[in-house]
Structure 1
Amino acid sequence: MRTIFTTGQVAKICKVAPRTVSKWFDSGRLRGYRIPGSQDRRIPREHLIRFLKEHGMPLGELEDEAMGKLLLVGIEGPIRTMLGEVLPLEDFKLESASSGFEAGIQAESLHPDGVIIDFAMGRNEALMIAQNLRKNADYNDTVLVGLISDDDSASGFDRTLFNETFRKPFDIALLAERVRTLVNRKKTLA
């Protein structure tokens, strides 16, 4: 995953001439930096993605990097629908799984940035999914969020498996904002 681009690489992504990219850079519309002692320009990935989004340009090969991928496990219709409404489709791709087995298959194909697990599917199954994800090195930095009830809170469990837990009932907008913050932080550090 490339983090710094040359003007030529940006030109290929945007399907424009390298000179056009240089003009964007020189005018300050596309942020980046010059190599010391040279006229060569470099554009960091996050500045390129921001520029493309601001100007309504297709993200092309950067689309997978720019979009947050969330796996919703055991989350029933109303919460899933509300999450879809508050997390914009241009920023997040949402996939669902109803069981631990399905969650494993979805995680392998999606490689999610975040997984939200509803304990309503069963406390033991929810914890098993979280433990299996944490055991796998591919998911060490995946954001895990647990949706728990008062019963789950009362019976202690290892909360260190999760980046965040929300006790029902909760504000769906607050959940969405917290997930957005955690996923964006993960993507910035990646």
Structure 2
Amino acid sequence: MNELHVLTTGEAARYCGVNFRTVIRWIERGQLKAYKLPGRGDHRICVEDFVGFLRDNAMPVPNELAAASRKVLMLASDPELTAGGRQALQQVGCEVDVASDSFIAGTLIAGCKPALLVLDANLAGVNGFQILDHLRSRSEYANVRILVVAPAGERDQQRWLDGGADALVLQAGDRTELSAKAKLLLEM
């Protein structure tokens, strides 16, 4: 499978229906994240950043680019949740990485730039609310959707949503709810 990871300014312009100089202006103004190649200084735009830009500006996301942003990071240590959740997410076309602690999750979120974080609220030694607060306070993670898997007896579900989660599923629920909510969040 040939995956597209970066775009030229001309390619980005064709997707938006604008002149490539408009894309360069967006980059120079800091509206669109890009990097310069050594030598001539041509710009390259990561697909994940471009998709985030399109969504932030209420522009349609082309199907071939939306598929590129189906990376999911699952932060969980429960073997049942990890195995079942991974399988359910892969069945709806997601590329899933799993981290069992916050250190590994931090390196993976910076490196793989997931579109969705599935956060186990029961993760030992980790305060999920601190993770939500950190991600929501950093602009580079503004486009990451967060799905919290809460314990079955969770009384204060609204607290997770108020803390920055985009959606919540109960751990006792079946995996179809997890995959359905993940799919919905990825298509937003």
TM-score bracket, normalised by the shorter chain, equals: 0.5 to 0.7
Partner in structure 2 of residue 82 of structure 1: 84
- 1:117–1:3 CA distance, 2 compared to 1 (3 A): farther
CA distance 1:122–1:75, shift in 2 (3 Å): closer
Quick check: 1:166 aligned with 2:142? no
- Give the CA deviation at 1:130: 1.5
In the alignment, what sits opposite 1:46? 62
Whole-Å Cα distance in 2 between the matches of residues 131 and 113 of structure 1? 17
- Residue 102 of structure 2 contacts residue 126 of structure 2 at CA under 8 Å; is this kept in 1? no
User: Which of 172, 183, 187 is equivalent to 2:186?
Assistant: 183
**Cα displacement (A) at 1:91:** 2.7
What is the TM-score when the length of structure 1 is the normalising length? Answer: 0.59
TM-score relative to the length of structure 2? 0.60
Alignment-mate amino acid for residue 121 of structure 1: L
What are structure 1's unaligned runs of at least 5 residues? 7-43, 50-61, 186-190
Report the counterpart of residue 131 of structure 1 in structure 2: 133
Aligned to 1:4: 14
Q: Deviations over 1:30-65 (max 9, x none)?
A: xxxxxxxxxxxxxx9725x2xxxxxxxxxxxx6x96
RMSD of the TM alignment (CA)?
3.0
Q: Which moved more, 1:76-85 or 1:113-122?
A: 76-85
Tell me if the contact between 1:74 and 1:97 (Cα under 8 Å) persists in the aligned partners. Answer: yes
* Counterpart contact for 2:69–2:114, Cα < 8 Å: no
User: Is this contact kept in 1: 2:73–2:114, CA < 8 A?
Assistant: yes
Distance 2:14 2:177 in 1: 33
The AA in structure 2 aligned to 1:163 is D
| Matched letter for residue 46 of structure 1 | P
Count of matched residue positions in the alignment of Structure 1 and Structure 2: 134
Segments of 4+ moved more than 4 angstroms: none
Q: Over alpha carbons, which structure has the higher Rg?
A: 1
Structure 2 counterpart SS, 1:157: helix
Whether the 8 Å CA contact 2:76–2:120 is kept in 1: the answer is yes
Contact 2:72–2:95 (8 Å) recurs in 1: yes
Structure 1 residues 3 and 83, CA gap change in structure 2 (3 angstroms): farther
SS at match of 1:141: coil
Following superposition, the deviation at residue 149 of structure 1 comes to: 1.6
Cα offset, 1:67, TM superposition: 4.5
Structure 1 equivalent of residue 146 of structure 2: 144
Gaps of 5+ in 2: 1-6, 18-59
